[in-house]
Structures are given as structure tokens and as C-alpha cells.
Amino acid sequence: MKVHSAHLIPPRTKVKLKHVSCDDTGKYTDEDAAKVDLAKHRDCIDKYQEVLYAGGERGVLIVLQGMDTAGKDGTIRHIFSGINPQGCDVTAFKVPTPLEAHHDFLWRCHNAVPARGKIGIFNRSHYEDVLSPRVHGLMKDKTAKQHMQQINDFESMLVDNGIAILKFFLHISPEEQKRRLESRIEDSSKHWKLSASDFAERKFWPDYQRYYEEIFTATSHKHAPWFVIPADNKWYRNVAISRVLAETMEGMKLEYPAVTVDVASLKL
Amino acid sequence: MKVHSAHLIPPRTKVKLKHVSCDDTGKYTDEDAAKVDLAKHRDCIDKYQEVLYAGGERGVLIVLQGMDTAGKDGTIRHIFSGINPQGCDVTAFKVPTPLEAHHDFLWRCHNAVPARGKIGIFNRSHYEDVLSPRVHGLMKDKTAKQHMQQINDFESMLVDNGIAILKFFLHISPEEQKRRLESRIEDSSKHWKLSASDFAERKFWPDYQRYYEEIFTATSHKHAPWFVIPADNKWYRNVAISRVLAETMEGMKLEYPAVTVDVASLKL
């Protein structure tokens, strides 16, 4: 994958999230210019998605991770509304069901990977397995390392089988999360989004950040890179992610498939 | 379901498709006015879809059927691009795989029904099972009748469990199909859509229409109605279908769920 992005984590890089800006806006000084570019990226993604679908040979998997309120749902809404839903599958991973918990942690994710021809979006993902259990002392470091190696093997296999993988960490500051939670409390139309656990998990912030840093170091690869996206500004988050996706799809050099029928022989 | 539409097939009605206009445009004399209404319907669907998703109690299943080139893909693209893909799952049913064919014909459809909180779109559906095999003399009338009863039972069960069902037949004329196939031949960027079977199946047109008529009589119900949508004009097809869906979702009286957490107790 040849994507140039200031937010790309090169392989085997140690990341200190507290040194990465949450409110960087790159080359943009205001929202309007970013919106123009977002619209261009969406058109581009939509165009290549049709070719992806027609070809049925390649797929794209987008992994979205981030702290609660980081904007995973909003990213999906703002970038992918406008894309043909027939070529785009979204899977939101919640606490594993009893059935899912009776399988290895990759089972439910494997089941949800995009088919060839599709863009698949994971709203949370297999990376949850090496986050929350570690934060709560339910997984040893050695097990977590094994799981990260298993994730690497799994993703390599997918890439070798035609699926491009892009992984985005939506990087918000604890202050921004506080503002967003407060706004959910103040706005009764957002009360359905309130979860007591979001508030409880806040006190584990440094642990989550530390384990995310380990994930980036261990699982960012040229073929399946992580991007740490400054996400305090929703509009920058959207344009930064859409740019990476649009450029990646452009770089895939997708083409409409060769005709398999003898067009001249078709009679009406 | 209280949807008023000139295209609704009342229960137990005998339909003669050749007497139903394919190029009716209802109250619209031109495309521009229809586009304005389509945009309104899309906004309305988008708004209610968020409430549907928040509530997680109800779902909506949309079944799209029609002759080849009738515009099932185009309907999805034009109505549902713009809807949050996280709340919208599309399943395109093809020739059954060996695994699917080893199960009853409803198995793969049941697996794909929308979860509560979602809009699910079937691009072709369980109705294919009582069409193509009949046209090709592979299914007895008695078996087809049994299958249609099984479909009725299946759909009743879904409705009783909170899933609203809307079924649309995209009604095109054989002349319009001819034009569309010709345009696919002429435009090399559409060659990937060409299938020799589309041309071969054309000669069975009257049989397909006849078996569709039987389907409408046997399986249109107040709780799971069929709509025969004039579809020679794509713009009218889009506005007619989006209207039924928007009005149905409005009529569901969806509400944001009650708050389950004690908002006052949430501490930051």
C-alpha cells in the first residue's frame, strides 16, 4: 500500500499518544475547505466502489477504533452515507454474545470480513480483545502478545487473499471526551446514547492509551497500516480518513472486468 | 400498515400485469418535481432510521423483485445512498450456493433478515424460489402453492416479531427491457453487467409475468403488502418506492427509547 499520510504509523514504531496532537487540522485552517475535499473524497470512493463491486476480485476492510465518543459512528455516517449501501457492509462489534464467546476471538470477525467486491467497515473489531481485558487485568501480557501475533497472521492472510486493510484510531483528548459526554447529558435527544460504562471506563484512560500504543507497535504493517487520526475536530477526522481511503482505492488500480460473454452473439 | 398507494395490491386480488401501466408517472408530469420529493423522502427515511436504530425494537424488510434490468440495483443506489450504512444491510440473492441448496429455501433468507433497529434490503429474495423453477418446469404447481404458504407463515412470524415488510415488484415492459439490454451492449462500461442468461430468459417473459401474478394474489397481505411499481421511468420508480417507505416509517410511530441510566448520577 502506498499511502502518504502524516498520521500513518510506520511498522515497529513506538508511539506516545500523549505526544500526538488530538486537534491537529493538517493543511486546513477552516472547516469549509475540508468539507469541499470530503465531498471530493466521497465521490472518489463511490466511483471506485462501483469498480470494486463490478470486479468482485478485491475487497477493502476498514477498522475503526477509539475511546468512547471518539466518533466511530459519526465517521461512518459522514463518510459512507452517499456510498451505495449494496457495496458496503458495516459490522458493529459489541460485548461478545455467549455463542461468540464460545469461539476463538477472531471467529466473529472472520465471519464479518467483506466479501470480494465490497467495502467492509468494522465499528470496533478484533482489537477490542487486546484492550478491555488487559485494562481490567483479565489477560496476561504474554497472552496479549500471542493474540496480537494471531491478529497479524489473520490480517496477512486476508491481504494475501485480496482484501486491503486500513486501520484508524480516532484520537481524542480526555477533555474532548468530557465535553462530548456532557453534551449527551444536556441534550435529551442524545440520552439514548448514554451508557454508565462510558463514564466508568474514563478512569482507565491511561491504561487504554498504553495498550493502544502496544497495538500500534505490534500490528501496524505496510500491508495493514494503522493511522492515528486527530479527532477532536470531527470535520478534520472525516476529511483525514476519507483521504486515506480515497487514495488507497485509487492506488489499487481497479478495473472493470473483462467481458465474459460474446457481445456480438447476444440476440434480442 | 396504513399506506395509501395506487400501486398497492390488496389481499387476494387477481392482477393482470399487462393491464398495469409500466410508464405511469402518477401525479408527476416531469422528473424535476419527482426529484424534489425523492430528496424529501430520503431525508425522512434517514431521520426515522436513526430512531429505529436507537430504539432497537423494530426493523424494516424491503423486498425488491423484477425482471432482469428492472432496476433493483438502481433503486438501492438512488434511494439508499444517503442513508447511514450502519443501519442498512443489503443482501443480493444469487443462484443458491451448494450449501444454501442443501437447506430449505427460506434458510438463507432468514439468516439475512434485518436485526431489530435495521433496514434490510433483499435484492431478489425467497420469491425467486417460486419463479424460475416454475418457469423452467422444475416445480409442480402444488409445491409452489405449499412454498407460498410457507412464505406467508414466515413473513407473518417476522411481522409478529417487530419487522415491517414491504415488497416491491419493479414493473417494466418488454420493450423497455430491450432498450436497457441494448444500451448495455452499446456502452462498453456496462459490459460487465451483461449476462447471456438475461437474454435467454427474455423468451420466458409471459411465464414469469403469470407466476408473478400468482405470487401477488397469494402473498400480498395487509401486514406484508406487494406494490407493483411502474418502472419504465427510473425517476418515477424511485419516488414511488421512497414514498411508500417514508410513509410506512412515519406510520410506525417510532420513538427514541427511554433513558435507562440515571442521568443525574453520571459523574465526570
The model's pLDDT over B230-256, given as tens digits with 9 standing for 90+, comes to: 999 999 999 999 999 999 999 999 999
The minimal CB distance from B261 to the residues A178, A194, A202 is found for A194
Q: Are A67 and A205 in contact (CB under 8 A)?
A: yes
Residue B265 has a pLDDT of: 79
For residue B117, the distance in angstroms to the closest alpha carbon of chain A comes to 12
CB pair distance less than 8 Å for A81 and B76:
no
Q: Which residue has the higher pLDDT, B220 or B184?
A: B220
What is the percent of chain B with per-residue pLDDT over 70, rounded to a whole number?
99
The CB-side HSE value for A94 (13 A sphere, CA atoms) comes to 4
What is the model's pLDDT at position A1?
A: 60
- The residues of B whose Cβ lies within 8 A of any Cβ of A are 46, 54-55, 73, 76-77, 80-86, 88-90, 92, 121, 123, 178, 181-182, 185, 189, 191-196, 199, 202, 256-257, 259, 261, 263, 266-268
User: Is B81 in Cβ contact with A81 (below 8 Å)?
Assistant: yes
CA distance A1 to chain B (A): 26
SS3 content of chain A, % helix, strand, coil (to 5): 55, 15, 30
CB A237 within 8 A of CB A231: yes
Q: Tell me the β-bridge partners of A24.
A: none
- Residue ranges of chain A with pLDDT lower than 70? 1
Residue A2 cell numbers, joined: 502506498
Collapse the DSSP code of A169 into the 3-class scheme (helix H, G, I; strand E, B; otherwise coil) and give the result. strand
Q: Name the residue with higher pLDDT: B267 or A258.
A: A258
Average pLDDT over residues B81-110: 95
Chain A CB contacts of B195 under 8 Å are 261
Rounded Cα–Cα distance for residues B52 and B164 (Å): 11
Q: Do A84 and B92 touch (CB under 8 A)?
A: no
Å from B108 to nearest chain A CA? 15
Question: Sign of the CA dihedral B74, B80, B86, B89?
Answer: negative
Q: Choose the mutation target among A68, A81, A267 for the interface with B, i.e. most B CBs under 10 Å.
A: A81
Backbone φ and ψ for A171, nearest 5 degrees, come out as -95, 105
pLDDT at B114 over 80: yes
Report chain B's mean pLDDT, rounded to a whole number. Answer: 95
SS3 B103: coil
| pLDDT for res B175 | 96
Mutate to test the interface with A, among B76, B86, B197 (most CBs of A within 10 A): B86
Contacts of B123 by beta carbon, 8 Å cutoff, 6+ apart: A86, B64, B72, B73, B76, B90, B91, B92, B93
Residues of A in contact with B55 (CB under 8 A): 192
Partners of A97 on chain B (C-beta within 8 Å) are none
Q: So what's the pLDDT on residue A267?
A: 73
pLDDT at B46 over 80: yes
For residue A176 the three cell numbers come to: 474532548
Measured between CA atoms, the residue of chain B closest to residue A186 is: B263
Give the distance from CA B172 to its chain's centroid: 15
Q: In this model, does residue B47 exceed pLDDT 80? A: yes
Sheet holding B226-230, edge to edge: B8-9, B226-230, B163-171, B59-66, B119-123, B88-92
- Which amino acid would we find at residue A151? I
What would the CATH number be for the domain defined by B8-253?
Answer: 3.40.50.300
Q: Which pLDDT score is estimated for B197?
A: 85
**Nearest-5° Cα angle at A259, A264 to B208:** 70
Rounded distance, CA A13 to CA B23, Å? 62
B133-141 mean pLDDT: 97
The CA-atom distances, in angstroms, between B237 and each of A244, B74, B228 are 36, 10, 10
Query: Scanning the structure block, which residue is given the C-alpha cell 455467549?
Result: A98
Strands B226-230 and A88-92, sheet pairing: unpaired
Contact flag B263-A194 (C-beta cutoff 8 Å): yes
Residue A118, all three cell numbers: 465490497
What is the C-alpha separation between B179 and B72, in angstroms, rounded?
16
Looking at residue B144, its pLDDT comes to: 98
- Amino acid occupying residue B136: H
CA distance A123 to B235: 34
- Residue contact B85–A83, C-beta within 8 A: yes
For residue A220, the distance in angstroms to the closest alpha carbon of chain B comes to 26
Q: What is the pLDDT of residue B196?
A: 86
DSSP A14-76: ---GGGS-SS--TT-SSHHHHHHHHHHHHHHHHHHHHHHHHH-S-EEEEEEEESTTSSHHHHI
Topology given in CATH for the domain delimited by A8-176+205-252: Rossmann fold (3.40.50)
d(CA A1, CA A224): 8
pLDDT at B1: 61
- Chain A nearest-CA residue for B186: A263
Under an 8 Å CB criterion, which residues of A touch B?
46, 54-55, 73, 76-77, 80-86, 88-90, 92, 121, 123, 178, 181-182, 185, 189, 191-196, 199, 202, 256-257, 259, 261, 263, 266-268
Taking an 8 Å cut-off on Cβ atoms, the answer to whether B261 and A195 are in contact is yes
Q: Where are the domains of chain B?
A: 8-253
For residue A261, the model assigns a pLDDT of 79
Q: Which of A170-179, B2-11, B147-156, B185-194 shows the lowest per-residue confidence on average (mean pLDDT)?
A: B185-194
Gap from A224 CA to chain B (nearest CA, Å): 23
Vertex B93 angle, CA B90 and B94, to 5°: 140
Edge-to-edge, what's the strand order for the sheet holding A59-66?
A8-9, A226-230, A163-171, A59-66, A119-123, A88-92
| Terminal Cα-to-Cα distance of chain A (whole angstroms) | 45
- Tell me the β-bridge partners of A230: A171
A225 in helix, strand or coil? coil
Q: Do B268 and A88 touch (CB under 8 A)?
A: no
Asked if B85's CB is within 8 angstroms of A121's CB, the reply is: yes
